Amino acid sequence: MTIPAEAQAAITRFGISIEDYMLPVHGQIQILAEDGTMLPEDRRGSSPGHQYPVPTDRELLEAYRRLVIGRRVNDQNSALVRQGRLAVYPSSHGQEACQVAAALALREGDWMFPTYRDSVAVMTRGVDPVEAMTLFRGDWHGGYDPHAHHVGIQSTPLTTQLLHGVGVAHAAKLRGEDTVVLAMCGDGATSEGDFHEALNFAAVFNLPVVFFVQNNQYAISVPLAHQTVAPSLAHKAVGYGMAGERVDGNDIVALLAVLDRAVTLARAGSGPLLVEANTYRMQAHTNADDATRYRNDAEVQAWAAKDPLNRMRHYLRSTGVLTDDVETAFAGDAEDIAQQLREGLGSDPTLDPQDLFRHVFTEPTPQLREQAALLADELARDELSREEH
Amino acid sequence: MSTVAEAAAARAAATAGPDPVTFAKALTTAMADAMRADDGVIVFGEDVAKLGGVFRITDGLMAEFGDQRCFDTPLAESGIVGMALGMAMNGMRPVVEMQFDAFAYPAFEQIASHVAKMHNRTRGRVTLPMVIRVPYAGGIGGVEHHCDSSEAYYAHTPGLKVFTPSSVADAYRLLREAIASDDPVVFMEPKKLYWSKDAVDLEALRRDFDGAEAAERAEGRAAVVRPGTDATIIAYGPAVPPALAAAEAASAEGRSVEVVDLRTIVPFDDETVCESVRKTGRVVVVAEAQGFASVASEITARVQERCFHSLAAPVRRVTGFDIPFPPPKFEHWHLPGVDRILDALDELQWED
Ligand SMILES: Cc1ncc(C[n+]2csc(CCOP(=O)(O)OP(=O)(O)O)c2C)c(N)n1
Ligand SMILES: [Mg+2]
């Protein structure tokens, strides 16, 4: 296996062999048991080169706060769909640990390239919640400025955004900046051609990209077994000459540890890495989907027992870090954001029909100007005839 | 502005008889009938098997025909179309589903470079009897990438047939014909019409299609869906219901407007279109897609080339604006509606 010298250097810094480095662990990295107890080091799924330090209590407490907020955001948004305030919402209920860890792993100058399901990650990164929901409310395609928080517009055409992330990383590298890009996609999306192209480009150009795959077991109705017969999605990495890792996607402690190292390595010049998080889409694909057609309740219930919030809560309560007062405060923070969402999305936005013609180009073409005038005239006549009646 | 539902209801009321059938059900039935008639017909795509498709158009096919003839693929459109091509080369008649209009784009290379050209490149030695079903266009409040009118890309690609039904009966007929065709067909389904209903006798349609006597084919035959004498509206797919509603509204103002539904964009029925235009002398072309370099442009050009001396006024187009399909809350300003069509009709130089 050939590996760029700078990558080699980064790997040796961590004291591991290339083979150890490339292949994911046998099972998955897990630090917290489902009941919230911390697993002893020899039961965390680690192997040489795959040992991860546990984040500090402070980091964990902050991560838990974000989890509580993330869950509240998901459930508030789903309620807003039921009330007709949002057109659609692909909830990440059950995947909040992945969402939060993805955002917390990055530094300010880093970039995130999220999908439609990653609204909580987008908000955790600092994007205004109501702005983030613009896409799903249906008054624009994306509500936030990607440059403001270094968050790409949430992408629906599957895995197309991974290549954009690769490009952003490439530009940063050419300028000598130490930006890391975290590019996100789902399990089903790994079957798309752009997934392959993005991984290969990132590897060939030795770019600082962390591909973060949330394996929530389903692509709408299609289970993972129909997508791939690879030993795991993380194993796909080695085929491109990059390291892959598998982590329990409902264990925020493990996620923070694994993503933190991946980002550190990428920043140090290791080239791209792929992290697969094993999790579960607890709800239907979107409100428009009926999950009872393709999976049974027992399966869902089995995953409910692995809930990322409960697990973390039990752990933090057991260590005494999470007191009643702190919990109340976190619930308050979550409620504040929920209220922000309810208020921001509870009333209809004012729409300007002329927005149709804005931003198609930096300067409208003569034809667009003409069409804008036609619509303005039509609406003015409508207004007149309404007044007459 | 009259809604799709109103237009569909009006049409349903006009045809008393059998129980109302949805557009979706007509499509499902067409596939099931084709699968029964020919073992080589197989259906695959994303979420088409167990789920029955996100619009449930393939619902029940896996249950009836088994998971060898109706199956889910890995999530990759280029893979779906490319594999379908190979299966079509090797004796089968694949019918594949693209989940939404814009999600067919990863398959575009397969479609434009191979599906469309294989017959030509091999001097006719290879035929590709395959159907690519594409739910398309807006009117359902869908977010970005779920409402594109992508028909012009396909119509502009020589070697592809492009069908787009607007009525329940045509949904059945055209899909049967598409599956039976030895040429590849991009089958564009206006998704806002999936739930429209009409009292159509599917049994009779099936007998017509399967009967010994070759029934009148819909391919390449535009339909005069409303006769009239003063002007012609030419439309297809999702634009047919507003065209009909506009013709109805115009009749209240004393204008008799004929509506021609193309049914198949490729092959194009110049004859029916021109016959209508020569009779009425006034034309509005209605399409939901953005108008620039579009199917509507092609229709307009053909009419002016062939019927110039019968025209009392320049052909008018009513189309979507030349913008990316807008977000749900804006789409009513974008979609060609009855008022905009009536305005265009008004401008056909009636005073001359
Ligand atoms: C290119 C493309 N094809 C199809 C779709 C339709 N689609 C939207 S989400 C989805 C499933 C994706 O599954 P996965 O990647 O596992 O992500 P998840 O939704 O589970 O988070 C599909 C098929 C799409 N958005 N883009
Ligand atoms: Mg998934």
Q: Which residue has the tokens 């990164």?
A: A125
Contact B143 A191 (CB under 8 A): no
Segment B204-262, tens digit of pLDDT: 999 999 986 767 899 999 999 999 999 999 999 999 999 999 999 999 999 999 999 99
Nearest to B106 among A192, A293, A353 (CB): A192
Res A6: pLDDT: 62
Q: What are the phi and psi torsion angles at B94 (to 5°)?
A: -70, 140
A138 and B75 in contact by Cβ < 8 A?
no
Q: What are phi and psi of A185, to 5 degrees?
A: -155, 175
**Closest residue (by CA) to atom 20 of ligand 1?**
A219
B46 in contact with A at a CB cutoff of 8 Å?
yes
Residues 141-180 (B) with a CB less than 8 A from some CB of A: 141, 143-146
B161-163 and B264-266 beta bridge pairing: antiparallel
Q: Which amino acid is it at A254?
A: A
- A87 touches B at CB < 8 Å: yes
- Chain-centroid distance of CA A143 in Å reads 17
Report whether A250 contacts A315 (CB < 8 A).
no
Q: Are B35 and B43 in contact, with CB atoms under 8 Å apart?
A: yes
With CB atoms and an 8 Å threshold, state whether A139 touches B327: yes
Give the number of A-B residue pairs with CB atoms closer than 8 Å: 111
User: Which pLDDT tens digit goes with each residue over A193-244?
Assistant: 999 999 999 999 999 999 999 999 999 999 999 999 999 999 999 999 999 9
**Residue A247: helix, strand or coil by DSSP?**
strand
- The domain made up of A5-346 has a fold known as Rossmann fold (3.40.50)
CA pair distance A55, A52, nearest whole angstrom: 9
Percent helix, strand and coil across chain B, each to the nearest 5: 45, 20, 40
Within 10 A of A348 (CB to CB), how many other CB atoms are there?
10
Spell out, as residue ranges, where chain B has pLDDT lower than 70.
Answer: 1-16, 212, 214, 352
Can you list the domains of chain B with their CATH numbers?
A: 18-216 (3.40.50.970), 223-346 (3.40.50.920)
- What pLDDT, in 10s, does the model give residues A176-188? 999 999 999 999 9
pLDDT of residue A389: 81
Averaged pLDDT of chain A? 95
pLDDT at A1 over 50: no
Q: What residues pair up with B285 in beta bridges, in sequence order?
A: B234, B317
At B145 the pLDDT is 97
If phi > 0 it is left, if psi is from -120 to 50 it is alpha, else beta; for residue B56 that is left
E strand or H helix at A262: helix A252-267
Residue B196 and residue B4 in contact, taking contact as beta carbons nearer than 8 Å = yes
Q: How far is Cα A210 from Cα A180, in angstroms, rounded to an integer? A: 8
